[in-house]
């Protein structure tokens, strides 16, 4: 039997580069399409799985697409910063379609998290100025005032344009 990873995926199903131990002096940046955080009153299984993944792979910054959350409709304790709170420094930014404020569940969106030393270097965050939640970004200040901006973007699938409920139809 294949050994499961911290988020429950058997190791024989890895894709991309298999991550080894992180070298000193390096930052590890990861990305994932969440395909929706599962609604849960107490412990959210996707959040818990991501936390294990971050710890196991020593992730310093994570960009996520498609959280499928209308952050304005959630209670204060249900935000990203609270979900991913650890003893390590944490900074976050999230975006969703602010023009469709009906339900806490909403297709699309993007978010970013950074931890530890990388969180200490974060100087600015932002998101899609149209309010459609298509991207989020973080700007970091390094040595000699060198700046790096990381961007997480969600690009909706074109699909059937006649379906008005699709994210693509809402943003077209």
Identify the sign of the CA torsion 35, 36, 37, 39. Answer: negative
The predicted-structure confidence for 94-137, as pLDDT tens digits, reads as follows: 999 999 888 888 889 999 999 999 999 999 999 999 999 999 99
The predicted-structure confidence for 137-154, as pLDDT tens digits, reads as follows: 999 999 999 999 999 998
- The pLDDT of residue 1 is 46
Closest CA to 154 of 112, 105, 98: 112
Q: What's the pTM?
A: 0.81
Residue 137 · residue 126 · CB < 8 Å: yes
The number of residues making up the chain comes to: 172
- Cα-atom radius of gyration of the chain, to the nearest Å? 17
């Amino acid at each position: 039997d294949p050994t499961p990873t911290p988020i429950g995926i058997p190791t024989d199903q890895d894709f991309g580069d298999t991550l080894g131990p992180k070298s000193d002096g390096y930052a590890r940046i990861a990305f994932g399409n969440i395909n929706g955080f599962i609604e849960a009153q107490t412990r959210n299984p996707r959040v818990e799985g991501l936390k294990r993944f971050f710890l196991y792979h020593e992730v310093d910054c994570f960009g996520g697409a498609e959280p499928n959350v209308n952050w304005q409709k959630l209670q204060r304790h249900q935000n990203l910063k609270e979900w991913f709170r650890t003893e390590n420094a944490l900074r976050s930014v999230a975006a969703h379609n602010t023009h469709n404020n009906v339900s806490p569940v909403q297709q699309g969106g993007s978010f970013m998290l950074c931890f530890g030393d990388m969180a200490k270097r974060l100087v600015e965050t932002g998101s899609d100025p149209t309010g459609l939640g298509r991207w989020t970004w973080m700007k970091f200040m390094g040595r000699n005032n060198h700046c790096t901006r990381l961007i997480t973007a969600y690009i909706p699938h074109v699909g059937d344009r006649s379906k008005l409920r699709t994210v693509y139809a809402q943003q077209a």
